[in-house]
Amino acid sequence: MDMKTTMDSFEDIINLYEGELDIPSNENCRGCDAQYKAPLLPWNVGSRFHSKQGGVFLAGKPHRGKPGTVRDSGVIDGRDVGRTLFFNEKWPYWSYSREILTSVYGSAKEGWDHIAFSNAVKCSSTDSNGKTTRQCVTQCLKENQVIFKEIELLRPRKIIFFTWSMHRDLFDNVPFAQPGTVMEHTDKNYRRACGRKQLGWWDRSLLANWGENVDFLILGHPERMKKTEYVEMVSQWITNPNRS
- Examine the pLDDT at 73 and tell me if it is beyond 70: yes
CATH architecture for segment(s) 6-239? 3-Layer(aba) Sandwich (3.40)
% of residues, the chain, pLDDT over 70: 95
Q: Give the model confidence (pLDDT) of 180-207 as tens digits.
A: 999 999 999 999 999 999 999 999 999 9
- Examine the pLDDT at 101 and tell me if it is beyond 70: yes
The pLDDT, as a whole number, for residue 35 is 85
pTM summary value: 0.94
How many Å apart are CA 10 and CA 154, to the nearest integer?
9
The pLDDT, as a whole number, for residue 244 is 41
Q: Where are the domains of the chain?
A: 6-239
CA angle 13, 15, 20 (to 5 degrees): 110
- Per-residue CA distances from 41 to 12, 31, 187 (Å): 11, 20, 30
Q: Give the model confidence (pLDDT) of 164-173 as tens digits.
A: 999 999 999 9
Instruction: Please name the helix (run of DSSP H) or strand (run of DSSP E) that holds residue 233, with its range, or none.
Output: helix 227-239
Q: Give the mean pLDDT of the chain.
A: 93
Q: Give the model confidence (pLDDT) of 130-155 as tens digits.
A: 578 899 999 999 999 999 999 999 99
How many Å apart are CA 176 and CA 203, to the nearest integer?
16
Report whether 37 contacts 72 (CB < 8 A): no
